[in-house]
A and B are shown apart, each in its own frame.
Chain A
Amino acid sequence: MIKLIPRNQPSKSMIALTPLIAVLLTMLVGGALFVALGKDPFAAIRMIFWDPLFGEHAFYYRGQILIKAAPLIIIALGLSFGFRAGIWNIGAEGQFIMGAICGGAVGLAAYPSDSWLLYPAMVLAGALGGMLWGLIPAFLKIRFNANEILVSLMLVYVAVNFLSGMVTGPLRNPDGFNFPESRAFQSFSAAHNPEIWAGTGIHIGVLVMLGLVVGCYVMLTRHIFGFNIRLAGQAPRAARFAGISPNRMIMICLGLSGALAGMAGLFEVTGPAGKLSTTFPLGYGFTAIIVAFLGRLHPVGIFLAGLLLAVTYVGGDIIQSQLSLPKASIQVFQGMLLFFLLAVDVLVMYRIQLLQRRVR
């Protein structure tokens, strides 16, 4: 029989090892899934995890990885603070969309400006839009005790509908033959977020992401705010005695994660997506939840996890085109990854003891 024995301390080695175990398990079971779909599992796994990095067309895919990783990592960094403190913002997708709308609207309003101030203003508006959208559940939680999980999630659907209202109404491209989409941001360079070095996929958002990884690392390990967050998560009662106001924590965590998600949305809409349209939401806000957990809510871990998930996104595109598998199969893969991670996480706090039958 197997028995779980609680550890006195969380196992340090397991904290680092379990994400790798989870990835391996996902590959195994994912391979079985591909067999069930009648595809060669080794080819599929290779296409997902290897080809984007080192395959024949990797020079193109590597840039794509950074493009996909930037929003995932930026959003996940924001979410990780709240998740540490037990504040569950799962509406990052909505904040991402609202950031794109608000920032994008500022840019579109200034069309055809060529001021260099425009882009910073758009980033600011995007972050503010996302922040305000994230503060709604925070306010309702503090003032009315409403569950932030449900409220933030409901706001995703509100944001999706708001987006379609915007692109069929005020933000529709006036020269666009009534298509439900905005003017392309490429059409005026002041509002465009271009690739800085051709072929690398590096745009402003990627650079901001790298800066944020460092910033969040410093904040979490060296700043009193990071300490307070960790305290509130690990010992809520102690945190209250130490004078940390839970309400302020809620405001800061939801506002911060909203602002980062909004900023990510702005980078996405002005860069890789190119314009506001109803097909703009790609589910990065939800995948970022997986990234945050897989990265152990730690900035460096999130950076690595974001790259990994970005690889699976690109790999998903590859298997979609080469094995003619539906796009959703990669979503299954990503969901599975979170599942296995949560499952093997038990090893961090508990050790497994095999009970031997006593022989008489």
Chain B
Amino acid sequence: MDISAVALIASLIVAATPILLAAIGELVVEKAGVLNLGVEGMMIIGAVVGFIAAVNTQSAFVGFVAGALAGGALSFLFAILTQYLLSNQVASGLALTLFGLGLAALLGHGYTGIKPPASPKMEFFGLSELPVLGPTVFHHDLMVYFSITLVAGVWAFLKFTRAGLVLRAVGENHDAAHALGYKVVRIRVAAILFGGACAGLGGAYLSLIRVPQWTEGMTAGAGWIALAIVVFASWKPWRIILGAYLFGGVTILQLNLQAIGVDIPVSYLSMAPYLVTIVVLVIMSADRARASLNAPASLGRIFHASN
């Protein structure tokens, strides 16, 4: 068996989509000046709730909605902690991840080994029949196209709308934004909720389409990789796609190498996505001046309007 490029690209897109969804959500959160390290927790909650909802209603669509809602609900806890109770964002994000992993395992107890309802693949009036472009570009499930649309939407929102400008202002300098009369806390809460919903959606994609079934701890660091991709993308929406597909590519390539039985033990191949994440982080952060130019200036800082 050898590796066909067409099948490779088609499956890398599927592998990348959960990370893509989570990363674009986290990008908006970080643009608003909040560092939410709980992506992993929100993803796995989205995965398990989406899976349960989809299995019980036999509708993948309901599953995705439920996953997004669950991710949003969990992120609301983070919002309360960091925005109203002024907790440290790093610690709160970690708490969110630990809590989410536990809660997901508890909720998913008894849902292992079940098949979720299938999500139909899109057909584009014969375009899907094209020899190479068909399977790679025009023959995916709806969520793949939705994720790319979402990136475009976020890009347009941040670049062209007034609300997007306000959100960026809050992220760059929350004191100035506050002085101008913008509701810093409210805007950040909204951004956190959006990020949570996206992460939940990404998780649901993982359990409903990518794998597709529920296993404990199935995100296996995908949420953390999404965080790294935001850094990789230098907080620019379009580069999120590039980053996510790069990681999807590494994952799929590694899986394919396992399948054709290269002379490297499986365990070492499985390290590849994580090692690549580290390498990419190193490369993107090495230029200190540029890295600090791109990062939102108020990232991770606590805002409290004292009078």
In the complex, what residues of A have CB within 8 A of residue B37's CB? 149
The secondary structure that dominates the B interface is helix
Of B16-24, B115-123, B128-136, B276-284, the segment with at least 4 beta carbons within 8 Å of chain A is B276-284
Of A38-46, A163-171, A212-220, A238-246, the segment with at least 4 beta carbons within 8 Å of chain B is A163-171
Q: Mark A149-171, 1 if CB is under 8 A from B, else 0.
A: 11101111110011111001100
Q: Could you jot down 26 A-B contacts, CB within 8 Å?
A: A6-B304, A88-B90, A140-B281, A144-B285, A145-B288, A146-B285, A147-B231, A147-B281, A150-B277, A154-B221, A154-B224, A154-B275, A155-B274, A158-B271, A161-B274, A164-B267, A326-B105, A328-B103, A328-B105, A331-B106, A333-B102, A334-B98, A334-B102, A338-B99, A339-B96, A342-B87
In the complex, residue of chain A having the shortest beta-carbon distance to the beta carbon of B37: A149
In the complex, residue of chain B having the shortest beta-carbon distance to the beta carbon of A141: B285
In the complex, what residues of B have CB within 8 A of residue A311's CB? none
- Cβ of A328 and Cβ of B77 under 8 Å apart? no
**Assuming the A-B contacts A329-B106, A339-B81, are A165 and B265 also in contact, with contact meaning beta carbons closer than 8 angstroms in the complex?**
yes
- Cβ of B285 and Cβ of A326 under 8 Å apart? no
In the complex, residue of chain A having the shortest beta-carbon distance to the beta carbon of B286: A144
Complex Cα gap A345–B304 (Å): 15
In the complex, residue of chain A having the shortest beta-carbon distance to the beta carbon of B283: A144
**Assuming the A-B contacts A151-B278, A328-B102, A331-B101, are A346 and B86 also in contact, with contact meaning beta carbons closer than 8 angstroms in the complex?**
yes
- Cβ of B102 and Cβ of A332 under 8 Å apart? yes
In the complex, residue of chain A having the shortest beta-carbon distance to the beta carbon of B101: A331
Complex Cα gap A146–B286 (Å): 7
Q: Is the C-beta of B228 less than 8 angstroms from some C-beta in chain A?
A: yes
Complex Cα gap A345–B87 (Å): 7
In the complex, what residues of B have CB within 8 A of residue A90's CB? 94
Q: Is the C-beta of B207 less than 8 angstroms from some C-beta in chain A?
A: no
- Cβ of A150 and Cβ of B265 under 8 Å apart? no
B residues with CB within 8 A of A = 37, 77, 80-81, 85-88, 90-92, 94-96, 98-106, 109, 216, 220-221, 224-225, 227-228, 231, 265, 267-268, 270-271, 274-275, 277-278, 281-283, 285-286, 288, 291, 304, 306
Complex Cα gap A150–B277 (Å): 9
Q: Is the C-beta of A24 less than 8 angstroms from some C-beta in chain B?
A: no
- Cβ of B99 and Cβ of A332 under 8 Å apart? yes
In the complex, what residues of A have CB within 8 A of residue B101's CB? 331, 335
**Assuming the A-B contacts A146-B282, A147-B231, are A342 and B91 also in contact, with contact meaning beta carbons closer than 8 angstroms in the complex?**
yes
**Assuming the A-B contacts A150-B227, A168-B265, are A338 and B85 also in contact, with contact meaning beta carbons closer than 8 angstroms in the complex?**
no
In the complex, what residues of B have CB within 8 A of residue A332's CB? 99, 102-103, 106
Q: Is the C-beta of A289 less than 8 angstroms from some C-beta in chain B?
A: yes
Using a Cβ–Cβ cut-off of 8 Å, how many residues does chain A contribute to the interface with B? 49
Q: Is the C-beta of A280 less than 8 angstroms from some C-beta in chain B?
A: no
Complex Cα gap A249–B159 (Å): 40
Q: Which of A162-217 contact B (CB under 8 A)?
A: 162-165, 168-169
In the complex, what residues of B have CB within 8 A of residue A350's CB? 86
- Nearest Cβ in chain A — how far from B19, in angstroms? 14
- Cβ of A161 and Cβ of B281 under 8 Å apart? no
- Cβ of B274 and Cβ of A326 under 8 Å apart? no
- Apart from A151-B281, A328-B109, A331-B106, what are 10 other A-B pairs with CB-CB below 8 Å? A144-B286, A146-B285, A150-B231, A157-B221, A326-B109, A327-B105, A328-B105, A329-B106, A331-B105, A332-B106
